[in-house]
Structure 1
Amino acid sequence: MPKLVVYNSMSLDGYFTDAKGDMSWAHKQDPEWQAFVAENARGGGQLLFGRITYDLMASFWPTPLAMQSNPTIAERMNNLRKYVFSTTMDQASWRNTTLFKGDLATEVRKLKQKPGPDIVIMGSGSLVAQLAEAGLIDEYQIVLNPLVVGSGRTLFEGVKRKLPMKLAKSRAFGNGNVVLFYEPVDQLLG
């Protein structure tokens, strides 16, 4: 059964987007970091998005610019199975995407019961908060960026209970990024 994994960048002051919703500060172009990102993208998987992140991803990855600037990641992003949760979308046109309009936790529980590769959430802070609150996330991969953005959105906005974590591993990069791999200590029965 697949694990549900969160992969998100975060500033030193705890924001995953700045006050304008921008995440471009998290994208670094140095060779060591790009090699890690490309290697991470080579693994199998499925992607889970909220509408805002889906719209951003779908507007970039299928483009010639994406294929030219980062062909390995573009190929993976375009070919992986994708799920988007939205109450406002009528259809999802990006290749291999299924649109869900039902209850988020219920649908994710069903996805986690089906055989298949892990499901990864990128961005999509409101989904992360709801699924964390429901005890459905199995691993958090947080990229801590050496930058203070001043204000923005936190990844766990709206979570009403404590979520104890244990550090499973970490990796530091020359650009100052540190990837922290956390696992929840106690899960609700999901």
Structure 2
Amino acid sequence: MRKINSFTFLTLNGFYKGPGDDTSWHKHGEEESKFSEQQLEAGNILLFGKTTFEMMQSFWPTPMAAELFPKVAKGMNEAEKIVISNSLKKTDWKNTKILRGDIIKQIQELKASKGKNITILGSGSIVSLLTNAELIDEYQIMIDPVAITKGTAIFNNITTNLDLKLTESRVFKSSGTVLLTYKKV
């Protein structure tokens, strides 16, 4: 059986994105880049909602991404990717599959099968959807030392309380960003 984990960065006041899907407040320095490289080495399937997927697709395959973050860009481009969308018909980003229809059933079947683990990157609506279906095994939350005036909370649409246990923490000293890893109780 595969594991599903979620990786999301948040503001101090709990937003994963600001108005207009803005994430420019996120601090991503050298330490965070090395962490991203290490995470990609695990070879997990990357799972996205359409909005996050389109944002990632617009950056990681570009020459700018390869210049700024060469190892992360290579890892992102080579990784197996799944985007959940009923409206997206095709994509040019290599190694990408589009899921549509009964998402919960398809993710349950994927999770029950043998193979690579799955990491949800950002994608708050997918995190809420899979949290409600009790399909996420671990939550990694990277908290940036910033608060914004408006935004969308990561667990904005959950329908039941979520009880978690802290299993790991890490401080990125140069940025002051903190990574918290939780598992379901």
Q: Cα RMSD between the aligned structures?
A: 1.2
Task: Compute the TM-score of the two structures, normalised by the length of structure 2.
Answer: 0.95
Equivalent in the alignment of 1:101: 100
Write the deviation string for residues 95-130 of structure 1: whole angstroms up to 9, x where unpaired. 011111111211111111222221011111100001
**Structure 1 residue 176 corresponds to structure 2 residue 176:** yes
| Percentage of matched positions with identical amino acids | 37
Mapped to 2, the partners of 1:120 and 1:27 lie a distance apart of 20
List gaps (5 residues or longer) in structure 2. none
How far the C-alpha of 1:14 sits from its partner, in A, is 0.5
Mapped to 1, the partners of 2:65 and 2:184 lie a distance apart of 34
How far the C-alpha of 1:173 sits from its partner, in A, is 1.6
How far the C-alpha of 1:158 sits from its partner, in A, is 1.2
**Structure 1 residue 47 corresponds to structure 2 residue 49:** no
Mapped to 1, the partners of 2:179 and 2:66 lie a distance apart of 26
Mapped to 1, the partners of 2:34 and 2:45 lie a distance apart of 21
Equivalent in the alignment of 1:142: 141
Task: Compute the TM-score of the two structures, normalised by the length of structure 1.
Answer: 0.93
SS in 2 for 1:179: strand
**Structure 1 residue 9 corresponds to structure 2 residue 9:** yes
Q: Bigger CA drift: 154-163 or 38-47?
A: 38-47
List gaps (5 residues or longer) in structure 1. 186-190
Mapped to 2, the partners of 1:34 and 1:76 lie a distance apart of 12
Mapped to 2, the partners of 1:167 and 1:63 lie a distance apart of 36
**Structure 1 residue 120 corresponds to structure 2 residue 89:** no
